[in-house]
């Protein structure tokens, strides 16, 4: 998503300035180019040399420090950027931005910026809730800035409150969201998307269970991508430890039967239902209510087959709904995926070779092949899971658009 994107990072004088070093590293690891401008306050917390070393670009610190006579440095940075990210954003810079003040390098450059702008506020709770700050935030929203809610937690002042810099993953997701708006059409605008994610868990006793290695990351990427493409998204997840994508509604379940109830309960609402979860094929017939004690002898556990959620959704769907399943295989991937497509009566199967190091469970990359009931077979190539998810939605949406035109 951020490959070769140019991000101007504007740092102002808050204690959270030190986090900007890691923020820039994470953006660069995603393929972005990062250039930095710092107020004098930011430089009191972290040096320009640190940011220059990490980004491999000179850092702007003074509006009038013009070392290249062929350009005006702050205008050059404003014209260069695909996204402007203000992090951390103090109450002071929010006031300047809301009122059009440019009196140092950061505020002056931001006046010239004409790309999407993302703001990550960070300050003391009392400053954040000050009426003037709240008024400035409202004005910035009206002006089209993307504002991230500050986090709650332990503040530098020694007490808890709202005002911490949001987690870096939240900031990066917000940047990716604004890039997605410019990169992808809202091909799912107004659609309702139901997605399952993660491996289901079947209890043996109160402390033991049967499950699988599915991390849920692919399902979460699909949910994030669908939201960015304009959909209303309901995520049924077994992985509460994963960060919920912005704007996505989540429902947590544990077992296959829990997931079946949740998915079937929301099926009528959905235009697309995606079974990305890895559902345990079997469950324990009679889980023990107490912890099973070892007594030195073998233990036999009777398993019974779990419901086939994908097949159940396919039989219950209406003619204008689309059912999408996943086939995680370790051999004969396409052959088994074709069999699953026809047996389950799904509209699409996404085939995934989980035997490969870069495409197996718990990875951040994937490579899949989409198979449709009409016989299409389309590969995505090896990409990040977020980019694979966008490709999946683009392929399916375009195929359905072609079908509607041909009807």
Domain positions in the chain are: 6-180, 186-406
Query: What's the fold here for domain 6-180?
Result: Rossmann fold (3.40.50)
Task: Note the pLDDT of residue 59.
Answer: 96
Task: Note the pLDDT of residue 406.
Answer: 55
Q: Which of 92, 124, 192, 212 is catalytic?
A: 212
Name the residue with tokens 């930095």: 36
Whether omega before 88 lies within 30 degrees of 0, making that bond cis, reads yes
Residues 6+ apart with CB under 8 A from 193: 223, 226, 231, 232, 233, 234, 270, 271, 272, 274
**CATH superfamily, with its number, for domain 186-406:** CoaB-like (3.40.50.10300)
Span 37-48, average pLDDT: 96
Task: Note the pLDDT of residue 328.
Answer: 84
How does pLDDT run across 335-390, given as a tens digit for each residue?
999 999 999 999 999 998 888 877 777 788 888 999 999 888 999 888 888 889 99
Instruction: Reply yes or no on whether the pLDDT at 403 is more than 70.
Output: no
Spatial distance between the Cα atoms of 101 and 105, rounded to a whole number of angstroms: 11
Spatial distance between the Cα atoms of 267 and 309, rounded to a whole number of angstroms: 11
Task: Note the pLDDT of residue 402.
Answer: 67
Domains 6-180 and 186-406 share a fold: yes
Task: Note the pLDDT of residue 60.
Answer: 96
Q: What is the mean pLDDT of the chain?
A: 91
The more confident residue out of 323 and 1 is 323
How does pLDDT run across 181-207, given as a tens digit for each residue?
777 788 899 999 999 999 999 999 999
- Percent residues over pLDDT 90 in the chain: 72
Task: Note the pLDDT of residue 323.
Answer: 95
- pTM beyond cutoff 0.85: no
Catalytic, 212? Answer yes
Burial group, residue 257, by CB count within 10 angstroms (0-12, 13-18, 19+) = middle
Task: Note the pLDDT of residue 398.
Answer: 86
Span 84-107, average pLDDT: 96
Label residue 31 by pLDDT band (50, 70, 90): very high
How does pLDDT run across 102-146, given as a tens digit for each residue?
999 999 999 999 999 999 999 999 999 999 999 999 999 999 999
């Amino acid at each position: 998503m951020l490959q070769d994107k140019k991000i101007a990072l504007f740092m102002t004088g808050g204690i959270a300035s030190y986090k900007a070093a890691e923020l820039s590293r994470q953006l660069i690891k995603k393929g972005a180019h990062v250039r930095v401008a710092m107020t004098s306050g930011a430089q009191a917390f972290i040096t320009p040399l640190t940011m220059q070393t990490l980004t491999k670009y000179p850092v702007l610190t003074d509006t009038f420090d013009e070392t290249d006579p062929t350009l005006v440095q702050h205008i050059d940075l404003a014209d260069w950027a695909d996204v402007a990210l203000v992090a951390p954003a103090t109450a002071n810079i929010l006031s300047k931005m809301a009122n059009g003040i440019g009196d140092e390098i950061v505020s002056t450059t931001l006046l010239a910026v004409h790309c999407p702008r993302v703001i990550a506020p960070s300050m003391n709770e009392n400053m954040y809730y000050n009426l003037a700050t709240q008024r400035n935030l409202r004005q910035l929203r009206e002006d089209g800035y993307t504002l991230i809610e500050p986090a709650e937690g332990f503040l530098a002042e020694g007490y808890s409150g709202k005002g911490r810099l949001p987690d870096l993953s939240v900031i990066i997701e917000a940047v990716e969201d604004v890039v997605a708006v410019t990169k992808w059409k809202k091909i799912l605008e107004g659609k309702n998307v139901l997605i399952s994610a993660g491996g289901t868990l079947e209890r043996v006793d109160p402390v033991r269970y049967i499950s699988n290695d599915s991390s849920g990351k692919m399902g979460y990427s699909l949910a994030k991508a669908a939201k960015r493409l304009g959909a209303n998204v309901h995520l049924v997840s077994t992985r509460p430890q994963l960060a919920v994508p912005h704007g996505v509604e989540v429902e947590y379940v544990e077992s296959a039967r829990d997931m079946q109830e949740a998915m079937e309960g929301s099926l009528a609402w959905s235009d697309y239902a995606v079974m990305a979860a890895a559902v345990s094929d079997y469950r324990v017939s009679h889980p023990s209510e107490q912890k099973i004690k070892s007594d030195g002898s073998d233990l036999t556990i009777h398993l019974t087959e779990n419901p086939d959620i994908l097949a159940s959704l396919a039989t219950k769907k209406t003619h204008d709904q689309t059912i999408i399943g996943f086939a995680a295989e370790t051999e004969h991937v396409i052959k088994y995926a074709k069999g699953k497509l026809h047996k389950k009566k799904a509209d699409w199967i996404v085939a995934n070779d989980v035997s490969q190091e870069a495409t197996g469970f718990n990875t951040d990359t994937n490579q899949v092949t989409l198979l449709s009931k009409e016989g299409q077979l389309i590969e995505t190539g090896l990409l990040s899971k977020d980019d694979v998810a966008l490709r999946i939605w683009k392929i399916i949406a375009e195929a359905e658009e072609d079908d509607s035109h041909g009807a």
